[in-house]
Structure 1
Amino acid sequence: MSTEQEMAFAAKAWPFEEARKLVARLGGKAPPKGYVLFETGYGPSGLPHIGTFGEVARTTMVRRAFERLMPGVPTRLFAFSDDMDGLRKVPDNVPNRELLALHLGKPLTKVPDPFGKFESFGHHNNAMLRDFLDRFGFQYEFQSATDWYKSGRFDNALLAVLRHYEAVMAVMLPTLGAERQATYSPFLPISPSTGRVLQVPILERNADAGTIVYEDEDGTKVETPVTGGAVKLQWKPDWAMRWFALGVDYEMAGKDLIPSVELAGKIVKILGGTPPDGFNYELFLDEKGQKISKSKGNGLTMEEWLRYAPPESLALYMFNKPRAAKKLYFDVIPRAVDDYLTFVEKFDAAEPAQKLESPVHHIHDGVVPNDVKGTAGLSFGLLLNLAGAANAESADVMWGFIRRYAPGASPETAPFLDRLVGYAVTYYQDFVKPTKQYRAPSEQERAALADLRDTLDGTPADASAEALQNLVYEIGKKHGFTELRAWFLAMYEVLLGQSTGPRMGGFIALYGVKETVAMIDAALAR
């Protein structure tokens, strides 16, 4: 075993903990199919949301950790779309909702695309998911339920469900109400007359012929094969059938799906397979503490996060405490960006064993790209405050200050910083500017601000951030702020119009000594 493997087996980061469970499950060797299969599932009934990305990101982290533990064992990751599901309701956040309403009950890949861009609504949402995963650089293989069902690749597994029909029903029926029990079947026929996915009783079964008999919507009794895409399975038996057919070794799921995971595990054993390893992550909540939902469109979408911050910050958010419920709304973005920058800054100097514990290792598979380095020591929070102080409408305004603060930096030499500048301007314009509320200073605060103004007026323009920070501290103490937090809060609210802010020394160094003097003059004149 190499030194790196030894460190990986000892690492405490949760992806390594998960990967070690998988190594133990496999007995330390490749499974008979020749590779270890990781899977993530996606229900394309609505536009993809951050929860979907989180599942792929976290599963990828476990996959890479496994590869560190077992470098000679091939791995694959399937991103599986349940796009043969019937459209149960019209999402709130799409156009042409009336069009979708006409196709309720049909497989998602048979529902017209309300955006008018793709073959179907399912194809549209699949494309959105793939586009995002591709842009982030995930290595995965996209899989479509429609393709697997219609191509016949699920046929053997579907026939196994038919052969074990009674045993599968014995697992499912106790979980259902009396009314649902009366009509439940694991098989959902696709109506030949309407194209809808039908939840109807199965009147007859013929395991030898591989067929079932049911009553269509027009009252006609229909015998149909369970193979070739003529039926699909209810989602819990479908999940188990997929594990069995594909030989899935690892799949995680949300905490709300724990009962479903347990049911699917029982069914896959009935079929002759083994449930995959995995863990149950906590749910994402919106700012009101409610679960985010594809159909409601609450919380954040992937596109919204990426409008205001780089994808690496989103990956960090997914890495941190996956078993803890976390609110996911716009206010969490700046902190996520700055935490990511801090981890990147510390990574290269860390000892090899420490690197395996760093989120950066799991975000970048052990190697931090050069293009995310070089931010001239500027945090995202500081850039946001600069945007506010300068009332920045564009990145050019910001770069005017940055070039003076860090003469060697430019959009060309610091491309990641340039991206952060663009994000900061957008975030400021959308969220900070509309909520700014300046207040008048108290007499104590006015005296302290006037003193700060006069002191800065005699301070060299190239004073260091640390020197400026000490200057601000001393003036706060001088004017009786026993709690310096109150002094900084006063500066934030009076000068910046907000309740939080940066280290003032760093901000003054970036914004400029003369510019800060002018800002104080304007505040005292209000």
Structure 2
Amino acid sequence: MSARLDHVPRDWCAVESDRIAALLERRGQVAGPVVFGAGFGPSGLPHVGTVSEVVRTSFVRRAFEEATGRSTRLVVVADDMDALRKVPDTVPDRAALTPHLGMPLHRVPDPWGVAPSLAEGMVDRLRRVLDVMEVDCEVVRSSDLYRSGRHDSAIRAFLADFAEVNALVGASVGALRRRSYSIVMPVSPHTGRVVEHTRVLDVDPHRGTITYEIPRDVVIQRPGLDHGLEPHEYYAGEPIGEPVTVSALGGGGKFQWKADWALRLLSGDIAYEMHGQDLADSARVVRQVFERLRREPPVLFEYGLFVDERGRKISKTVGNGFALDDAIGCLTREGLRMLLYRKPRRPRRFDLASVLRADDAVRHEARLAGDPRRGAGARLRLRRIGATAPPGGPRFGTLVRVLAACAPVDHAAAVAFVERVFPPGRRPEPDLVARAWRFHLHARPAPRSAVLDTTATTVLRRLADALASAPHADPGVLLHKALDGHPDAYRPLYLALLGRPHGPRLATWLRITGTRRSLALVRDALSRAVPPSDRSEGGSP
């Protein structure tokens, strides 16, 4: 294999590696580990956008290590100091979290009652996904960085030029918001809330303190409300219009998120980080902050957003789009990594169809890689995603179509159908069958109601009686006896048992489903069937 594989055309990881090397040369950073960063807002369930940011950064990290031989770190910071501004739609008992609005996420209880806090539960979920994806990284909490003093030196740099930096960042928000905007949000000594609406009266960079007041004349807009709130309504228990002096160091304050992003990059000496297209303007503000502080900003890579089937951005608080846990259950690790590797700047739908294509894309690349003269690009892509062995057996798409045609009722039936369709030498791995079964559960259409005429009802009752009286008999043979003289009953039987007008041979389907399960399904079909008299005839009543 060529030693110059990193320069295969269209390998975006190699391009990013070169950009990082150029940055380090400008910074004069010739020793020590190079730090790659990523951020995570733990206010809602991690989604594919969150994971893509970390996994894609890990691709670039490995490319950089291969090209330079330098040591690296990948640090993922969970912003658990952020305030709970809106109760996510994806949590149970949402009303129980409403009293905690405005509190730092690490002090909001876990609605599932498992983790110490809402933030910690979301961090645990992200950590499990990254472990499945085999991403080597450090996950740290923003609250630990603030309270330990790790940010203090950078905070003093911001305070030393507070007026200019505050005006610079504040220019990116609306005129109404600027009336009560400060890059430093104090953690209230009275209620423990993150105070977002302040007027800073004084800054002491030497002591690291700010003096602020919550203005009396500000109107506060909150997500989900179609009207503004008065300060005394939103900040109950806080002194309104009175000066308060607090330390901005050691966790006494938390930066507004654009300034917080710049603070985290500066304090962590980050060389490379990614962000979505929706944060392009915020990334521009971050670069301006670095320029104002006379520091060299890190390399920031803008990636395309993941959208749902309706083209809407996938959101962790709304929970739209294909759930990440479900995707991981259907996709192989290599399939998901290939999905994230390809064309990262392009917006991408994340739905069932994309899952189907992603798993087979790895097989396609493995086939291309077998060409010794023209397969260098494919071999590089497989190495980037960590694919160690070419997949065997049938394609994932073929396996999914087999299950769709056979309509198995459970995983055991799915395995039995697969074993009937594929000879021993071509059978897929059990893990792939399990993933195809989970995909089938998501993709199969809702069953259609069956309208049973007298003949179909008679056949089903005969079959039920036969299955109940002869539990050890061949269900296929019992079916033929029940159908005796009524060959036209097949279509309503398919609708009654499978929820569709066609499918595999019913005798085979009953044998694989088993007598006990078949009897339960027949009885259920009889209980759910729509009598002909209830059938809508259309037209005017």
In the aligned structure 2, how far is the partner of 1:14 from the partner of 1:288? 28
CA distance in 2, matches of 1:232, 1:282: 29
Shift of 1:402: 4.6
Q: Tell me what 1:212 maps to.
A: 210
- Shift of the 169–30 alpha-carbon distance from structure 1 to 2, 3 Å rule, reads closer
TM-score under structure 2 length normalisation: 0.74
Instruction: Decide which moves more: 170-179 or 317-326.
Output: 170-179
Deviates more, 1:316-325 or 1:423-432: 423-432
* Residue equivalent to 2:253: 231
Q: Quick one: distance in 2 between partners of 1:399 and 1:380?
A: 14
What amino acid is aligned across from residue 382 of structure 1 in structure 2? Answer: T
Q: How does 1:214-363 map to 2 (within 5 A)?
A: 214-215=212-213, 217-219=238-240, 221-347=243-369, 349-350=371-372, 354-355=376-377, 358-363=380-385
Gaps of 5+ in 1: 439-495, 499-510, 517-526
1:375 partner letter: G
The answer to whether the 8 A contact 1:343-1:358 is kept is: no
Q: Deviations over 1:152-206 (max 9, x none)?
A: 1111111111101022023123323332222211110001111110021112111
User: 1:98 Cα deviation (Å)?
Assistant: 1.2
Aligned partner of 2:388 in structure 1 is 369
- State the shift of 1:346 in Å: 3.7
Rounded Cα–Cα distance in structure 2 between residues aligned with 1:8 and 1:353 = 14
Q: In the alignment, what sits opposite 1:136?
A: 133
Query: Matched residue of 2:39: which SS?
Result: strand
1:97–1:434: structure 2 CA closer, same or farther, 3 Å change rule?
same
1:425 is the counterpart of 2:437: yes
Do the aligned partners of 1:12 and 1:357 also contact (CA within 8 Å) in 2? Answer: no
Are the equivalent residues in 2 in contact too, given 1:285–1:299 (CA < 8 A)? yes
Equivalent residue, structure 1, for 2:407: 391
Partner of 2:272: helix, strand, or coil?
Answer: coil
Q: 1:497 to 1:325 in 2, by over 3 A?
A: farther
Structure 2 segments unaligned to the other structure (5+ residues): 215-237, 451-497, 510-541
* Partner of residue 486, structure 1: none
Identify the residue that residue 466 of structure 1 maps to in structure 2: none
Distance 1:33 1:69, change over 3 A: closer
Change (3 A) 1:126 1:389: same
User: In the alignment, residue 440 of structure 2 is paired with which amino acid?
Assistant: Y
The alignment status of 1:125 with 2:125, answered yes or no, reads no
Q: Normalization by structure 1: what TM-score?
A: 0.76
Describe the SS at the equivalent of 1:21.
helix
Cα gap change, 1:400 to 1:179, in 2 (>3 Å): closer
Counterpart secondary structure, 1:202:
strand
Q: Distance in 2 between matches of 1:198 and 1:388?
A: 54
Structure 1 SS opposite 2:191: coil
Q: Using the alignment, how far apart are the partners of 1:3 and 1:30 within structure 2?
A: 31
Whole-angstrom CA distance in 1 between matches of 2:337 and 2:305: 16
CA RMSD after TM alignment: 2.9
1:380 to 357, 372, 396: 396
- Kindly indicate whether the alpha-carbon contact (under 8 Å) linking 1:157 and 1:241 is maintained by their aligned counterparts in 2: yes
SS in 1 for 2:315: coil
CA contact (8 A) 1:355 1:361 kept: no
When structure 1 is superposed on structure 2, of 82-91 and 26-35 the one drifting more is 26-35
Task: Quote the offset at 1:66 in angstroms.
Answer: 1.1
Q: Partners in 2 of 1:65 and 1:149 — Cα distance? A: 32
Contact 1:30 1:36 in 2 (8 A): no
Contact 1:393 1:429 in 2 (8 A): no
Instruction: Determine the structure 2 residue equivalent to 1:109.
Output: 106
Are residues 1:49 and 2:47 paired? yes
Give the letter aligned to residue 420 of structure 1: L
Matches within 5 A, 1:511-526: none
Structure 2 CA distance, aligned partners of 1:291 and 1:333?
18
Matches of 1:351 and 1:252, distance apart in 2: 34
Q: Deviations over 1:18-72 (max 9, x none)?
A: 112222222399825612111111111111111001111111111111112112x
Q: Distance in 1 between matches of 2:93 and 2:273?
A: 35
Residue 325 of structure 2 aligns to a residue in which SS?
helix
Of 313-322 and 151-160, the range deviating more from structure 2: 313-322
Letter in 1 for 2:29: P
- Larger mean CA deviation between 28-37 and 315-324 belongs to 28-37
Q: Aligned pair 1:15/2:13, yes or no?
A: yes
Show the counterpart of 2:167: 170
> Alpha-carbon deviation of 1:349?
5.0
SS at match of 1:162: helix
- Within 1, Cα distance between the matches of 2:258 and 2:245? 24
Q: 1:39-78 residue pairs with structure 2 within 5 A?
A: 39-71=37-69, 73-78=70-75
Give, in angstroms, the shift of residue 331 of structure 1.
2.5
d(CA) in 2 for partners of 1:407 and 1:304? 29
Q: Which amino acid aligns with 1:422?
A: A
8 Å CA contact 1:402, 1:409 repeated in 2: no
